[in-house]
Chain A
Amino acid sequence: MGAFFGAFFLLLATGVPIALALGVGGMIHLYMSGNGAIVLAFPQRMMAGVDQFILLTIPLFLLAGMLMNVGGITDRIVVFARAMVGHRKGGMSSVTVLSSGFFAGISGSATAEASALGSILIPAMRKQGMPPAYAAALVGVSSIMGPIIPPSITMIIYGVLSGTSIGQLFIAGVGPGLLLAAGLLIYAGWRARRDGFPVTPKMRWAERRQATIRTLPALVLPLIIVVGIKAGVFTPTEAAAVAVAYALVVGFAYRDLTLRRVWESLVAATLVSSSILFITAMASIVAFVFTLEQVPTTIASAVLSVSENPIVVLIMLNLALLVLGMFLEPISILILTMPILLQFNKIIAMDPVQFGMMVVLNVVIGMATPPVGILLFIVCAASGQPLTDVAKESVPLIGICLLVLFLVAAVPAVSLFLPHAMLPMR
């Protein structure tokens, strides 16, 4: 394992894409351990890693996000959020958090959210005189709500890998999602007051009503998805395709969508999805190498030799996931750690849905932590701000996310209240 991590970090530090750092690290590790012949099996593992029906949610949700962006849905959400909170303390920064929350309800992916909202909201906040690095950090960290508020690619993948009900995971995400939104709103308000950020003029009621009506079609998507899955119209995987169809319908109804824009979105979604799935393929190689050498068993027994106290195991597990989250993206972490995670939960004995919620929140927080944080990269590119400044501004925001993580881990009702209220049978 040492050879792998040595090679991986060295490659990562020299600017090698994370996917290739994983693959090359796996190869070097095998040659060093005298199992070089197994490299022959890599192409098969790469393919097997992406040969899974659920992974179709990745290009599909990316596409849905892009279509909403070019189809005018994103703009309308921002206008709607402005009508609701733009005049309150926090101004555009509160609008950002609220827009993220709404966008999360129609998008399954944090990256889609950060790229869609970053290009609109960062300039808007800047115009109000907020420091650009803070604006970027707020968009980046708020995007964490994307995979927490349903629908969510990360939850679908967690559900399938672990055998947890995806419908229940989706509903369980609502509570923590609202907590995230509340926490970020409070911070944005406090920060605005401290630094004297201006507010936007209050809209008249007629304007507010109009903004609501114009945005309503976009806002019912999460309802369609949850109800559609529960009523057996489609599977969670197919829900991603339904989201695309819905984005198309709404986009054409808003008259913002053109065939040309649809085509460009199809191409762009494929290319972005390719880069994500390539990481998945490479993570599968590493998972394969580790399994062959029975690393999960070794790690599990090492942890358990430190302590078998459930609380201690729980804390160690969260710390380990947060550290992994600094360097890897959510799907790779889930692929690599799932065998160990399930073993640990036998000791922690948490409800599987709450446990899933905790793990998912944990790994998506990693998307906004340096050095490898795709959300930070996206907002840096969108704002032209250096990574170090944006990372600094995101520290207190990440702190809020960690607080929510703590609540999710410590208070079962945060995740389980809604699923139990809605699905009492299990």
Chain B
Amino acid sequence: AAINMRLAHAANEIHPGHIATVEFKKALEALVPGATNLTIFPNRQLGEDRQNLESAIAGTNELCGCSGVLFPLVTGRNALDAYQLPFLIKDYDHFSRIATADIGQKLLDDLEPAGLVGLQTTDIGQRHFLCATREVKSVPDFAGLKTRILPVPLHKAIWEGVGTAPIGLPYGEVYGALETKVIDAVEINVSSMLGENLWEVGKNFTLTGHYPWHHVIAINKTFFDGLPTEIQQAIKQAGRDSIAPTLEYTKKQDNEGRDELRAKGVQIFELEDLAGMQAKVEPIIEQWSSTSPLIKDFVGQARALI
């Protein structure tokens, strides 16, 4: 009989985070046809990122797809932070090279002591800067902007470094807060801008590309260890195989999405002094590298693989 598995994630059906899981399922079924029966629960059906990740660790769900930024918080293993060191990953091709390299695998393997087997890391969209109250064209324009961020130490360090006033706010309240100008800005990717209709309330979009929003699929280790070797290998292989097609989708959605945003009246700017923004947050890379040899290794490899 086919092995039943459940995968829960929080992204909606057009989001790259969902495509990542669909590509994974496709790859797995191509490798071992009929051997597995993977049910995907998208769209927060079974909970937010944190709950899905915890369920995969606890084994009440077999797999999860989850923002990479949550793994250090929940597992206490901080290596996956490496992907979001400011301006380290240049673009989707660069991401693809590093995620499929040995070091990409090492970061996933680092999750095993936490009870997870990491299968796939993809990018669900390079992050940029959306402002509702002013045009942001150069570094001084960032000064004092009330910017919604995820309240984690790395992001806080980056956005304070850039000069904004970072604010923690539930993701679900971002739209309303931008609409009423409770906050000025949000750091965001194109697909989320479209998916959450943020273009209706923010019209100034600055292409900063400060970091990717990485997304990881992982499976409960106890469950994984109990599977036949052949299935184990297929699952791991499916993870690797599904990276490229997902990134293809993300890249395409990002580029076409920009045109869509323009058509909806969003002004898209390049930052005049991107180098100046990079210089402001550059020290954070060294600071984070000193906390983990894996991160240090990742930084070296990423710079070599450009």
Residue picked from B47, B55, B170, B180, most chain A C-beta under 10 Å: B180
- For the complex, count residues of B whose C-beta is within 8 A of A: 26
- Does B290 have its Cβ within 8 Å of any Cβ on chain A? no
B176 A166 Cβ-Cβ under 8 A: yes
What is the chain B residue whose CB lies nearest that of A233?
B182
Which residues in window 34-56 of B have CB below 8 A to A? 41, 45-48, 50-51, 54-55
Which chain B residues lie closer than 8 Å to A292 at the CB level?
Answer: 6, 41, 46
Please report the C-alpha to C-alpha distance between residue A163 and residue B182 in the assembled complex, in whole angstroms: 18
Which chain B residues lie closer than 8 Å to A41 at the CB level?
Answer: 55, 58, 60-61
What is the chain A residue whose CB lies nearest that of B45?
A291
- Does A79 have its Cβ within 8 Å of any Cβ on chain B? no
A230 B180 Cβ-Cβ under 8 A: yes
Q: State how many angstroms separate the Cβ of A170 from the closest Cβ of chain B.
A: 11
Residue picked from A41, A163, A167, most chain B C-beta under 10 Å: A41
Please report the C-alpha to C-alpha distance between residue A167 and residue B61 in the assembled complex, in whole angstroms: 37
Interface contacts beyond A160-B172, A167-B179, A426-B200: sample of 11 additional A-B pairs, CB < 8 Å, sorted by A = A44-B51, A44-B60, A54-B170, A54-B173, A165-B179, A232-B180, A232-B182, A235-B176, A291-B41, A291-B46, A292-B6
Q: State how many angstroms separate the Cβ of A378 from the closest Cβ of chain B.
A: 31
9 contacts between A and B (CB under 8 A): A37-B60, A40-B60, A41-B55, A41-B60, A163-B172, A163-B196, A234-B182, A235-B177, A235-B182
Residue picked from A41, A165, A232, A288, most chain B C-beta under 10 Å: A232
- Does A32 have its Cβ within 8 Å of any Cβ on chain B? no
Which chain B residues lie closer than 8 Å to A38 at the CB level?
Answer: 60
- Does B296 have its Cβ within 8 Å of any Cβ on chain A? no
Q: State how many angstroms separate the Cβ of B58 from the closest Cβ of chain A.
A: 7
A167 B176 Cβ-Cβ under 8 A: yes
As a 0/1 sequence over residues 324 to 354 of chain A, the CB contacts with chain B under 8 angstroms (1 = contact) are 0000000000000001000000000000000
- Does B181 have its Cβ within 8 Å of any Cβ on chain A? yes
Q: State how many angstroms separate the Cβ of B200 from the closest Cβ of chain A.
A: 7
- For the complex, count residues of A whose C-beta is within 8 A of B: 29
Please report the C-alpha to C-alpha distance between residue A231 and residue B41 in the assembled complex, in whole angstroms: 38
Q: State how many angstroms separate the Cβ of B40 from the closest Cβ of chain A.
A: 12
A235 B58 Cβ-Cβ under 8 A: no
Please report the C-alpha to C-alpha distance between residue A404 and residue B58 in the assembled complex, in whole angstroms: 48
B54 A52 Cβ-Cβ under 8 A: no
B45 A339 Cβ-Cβ under 8 A: yes
A residues touching B (Cβ–Cβ < 8 Å)? 37-38, 40-41, 44-45, 48, 52-54, 160, 163, 165-167, 229-237, 288, 291-292, 339, 426
A52 B58 Cβ-Cβ under 8 A: no
Given contacts A52-B170, A53-B170, A339-B45, is CB(A44)–CB(B180) below 8 Å? no
Within 8 Å by CB of B173, from A45, A235, A426, lies: A235
Which residues in window 152-189 of B have CB below 8 A to A? 169-170, 172-173, 175-177, 179-182
Please report the C-alpha to C-alpha distance between residue A234 and residue B169 in the assembled complex, in whole angstroms: 12
Given contacts A41-B58, A235-B173, is CB(A48)–CB(B180) below 8 Å? no
Interface of A, secondary structure class, is helix
What is the chain A residue whose CB lies nearest that of B133?
A232
Please report the C-alpha to C-alpha distance between residue A236 and residue B172 in the assembled complex, in whole angstroms: 12
Q: State how many angstroms separate the Cβ of B33 from the closest Cβ of chain A.
A: 24
Please report the C-alpha to C-alpha distance between residue A417 and residue B150 in the assembled complex, in whole angstroms: 37
Q: State how many angstroms separate the Cβ of B93 from the closest Cβ of chain A.
A: 34
Please report the C-alpha to C-alpha distance between residue A339 and residue B180 in the assembled complex, in whole angstroms: 27
Within 8 Å by CB of A44, from B41, B45, B58, lies: B58
Please report the C-alpha to C-alpha distance between residue A163 and residue B197 in the assembled complex, in whole angstroms: 10
Within 8 Å by CB of B46, from A54, A229, A288, lies: A288
Which chain A residues lie closer than 8 Å to B196 at the CB level?
Answer: 163
Which chain B residues lie closer than 8 Å to A230 at the CB level?
Answer: 180
What is the chain B residue whose CB lies nearest that of A41?
B60
Please report the C-alpha to C-alpha distance between residue A40 and residue B41 in the assembled complex, in whole angstroms: 19
Please report the C-alpha to C-alpha distance between residue A237 and residue B176 in the assembled complex, in whole angstroms: 11
A160 B173 Cβ-Cβ under 8 A: yes
Within 8 Å by CB of B47, from A48, A160, A232, A339, lies: A48
Q: State how many angstroms separate the Cβ of A18 from the closest Cβ of chain B.
A: 23
A53 B173 Cβ-Cβ under 8 A: yes
Please report the C-alpha to C-alpha distance between residue A232 and residue B180 in the assembled complex, in whole angstroms: 4
Which residues in window 188-221 of B have CB below 8 A to A? 196, 200
Which chain A residues lie closer than 8 Å to B169 at the CB level?
Answer: 235
What is the chain A residue whose CB lies nearest that of B51?
A48
Given contacts A41-B60, A426-B200, is CB(A236)–CB(B51) below 8 Å? no
What is the chain B residue whose CB lies nearest that of A38?
B60
Please report the C-alpha to C-alpha distance between residue A339 and residue B46 in the assembled complex, in whole angstroms: 12
What is the chain B residue whose CB lies nearest that of A297?
B45
Which chain B residues lie closer than 8 Å to A339 at the CB level?
Answer: 45
Which chain A residues lie closer than 8 Å to B48 at the CB level?
Answer: 48
Which chain B residues lie closer than 8 Å to A166 at the CB level?
Answer: 176
Which chain B residues lie closer than 8 Å to A229 at the CB level?
Answer: 180
Given contacts A41-B55, A44-B55, A160-B173, is CB(A167)–CB(B60) below 8 Å? no
Which chain A residues lie closer than 8 Å to B176 at the CB level?
Answer: 165-167, 235-236
Which chain A residues lie closer than 8 Å to B177 at the CB level?
Answer: 232, 235
Please report the C-alpha to C-alpha distance between residue A339 and residue B12 in the assembled complex, in whole angstroms: 13
Residue picked from B54, B61, B172, most chain A C-beta under 10 Å: B172
Which chain B residues lie closer than 8 Å to A48 at the CB level?
Answer: 47-48, 50-51
Which chain B residues lie closer than 8 Å to A163 at the CB level?
Answer: 172, 175, 196
Residue picked from A163, A235, A339, most chain B C-beta under 10 Å: A235
Q: State how many angstroms separate the Cβ of A288 from the closest Cβ of chain B.
A: 7
Residue picked from B50, B170, B176, B200, most chain A C-beta under 10 Å: B176
Q: State how many angstroms separate the Cβ of B194 from the closest Cβ of chain A.
A: 14
Please report the C-alpha to C-alpha distance between residue A292 and residue B180 in the assembled complex, in whole angstroms: 37
* Leading 10 A-B pairs by shortest Cβ distance: A232-B181, A41-B60, A232-B180, A53-B170, A232-B182, A48-B51, A291-B45, A160-B172, A235-B182, A48-B47
Which chain A residues lie closer than 8 Å to B170 at the CB level?
Answer: 52-54
Q: State how many angstroms separate the Cβ of B15 from the closest Cβ of chain A.
A: 14
Please report the C-alpha to C-alpha distance between residue A288 and residue B46 in the assembled complex, in whole angstroms: 6
Q: State how many angstroms separate the Cβ of B186 from the closest Cβ of chain A.
A: 14
Please report the C-alpha to C-alpha distance between residue A292 and residue B45 in the assembled complex, in whole angstroms: 9
Please report the C-alpha to C-alpha distance between residue A53 and residue B180 in the assembled complex, in whole angstroms: 18
Which chain A residues lie closer than 8 Å to B180 at the CB level?
Answer: 167, 229-232, 235
Within 8 Å by CB of A237, from B46, B173, B179, lies: B173
